[in-house]
Amino acid sequence: MNKRGDVQRLRGVLRLGALVFAISSLVLFIAPRVFTDLLGLPGSLNLDWSMQLSGVTILTLGGLMFVIAQAGSTNGVLWAARVMMVGAFGLGVMTLLIPTGVTWFVILYALIGFGFSSAYLVFLARRNAQID
């Protein structure tokens, strides 16, 4: 049961991450300037377009996360969680390295990335420890 339970928790983290990505992608696509303003980036049409394109990409990733959480095999969930653990950590690091300086939103955004990365790590470690 414990082995399966941790995969179930990883499915939950994937679902929650998919929801966060869906909301983020809508904001990026509909109002990209809001996001860039919160990050302290100078707005431009080029940056707006780039944020909208990122929104489409994030929506796609979130959709895949949801599909894996709903219908993926145990191994599929474990592999997706490993990939997302690294990606979420990278998101946190890159957010803190933003060239405009650290603001409250930059810290919040980085913490979200680190939080998801930590959740994946904890549930992956518990699952892997039970196999040995």
Q: Break the chain into its structural domains and give their ranges.
A: 2-131
Is residue 99's pLDDT more than 50? yes
Look at residue 78 in the predicted model and tell me its pLDDT. 94
Look at residue 3 in the predicted model and tell me its pLDDT. 53
Look at residue 91 in the predicted model and tell me its pLDDT. 96
Cβ count within 10 A of residue 1: 6
Look at residue 126 in the predicted model and tell me its pLDDT. 85
State both tokens at 96: 């803190």
Q: Over the range 100-116, which residues count as b (16 or more CB within 10 Å of their CB) and which as e?
A: eeeeeebeebbebbbeb
Taking only the tens place, the pLDDT of each residue in 49-89 is 999 999 999 999 999 999 999 999 999 999 999 999 999 99
Is residue 131's pLDDT more than 90? no
Taking only the tens place, the pLDDT of each residue in 32-56 is 999 999 999 999 999 999 999 999 9
Residue 117 · residue 89 · CB < 8 Å: yes
Look at residue 127 in the predicted model and tell me its pLDDT. 53
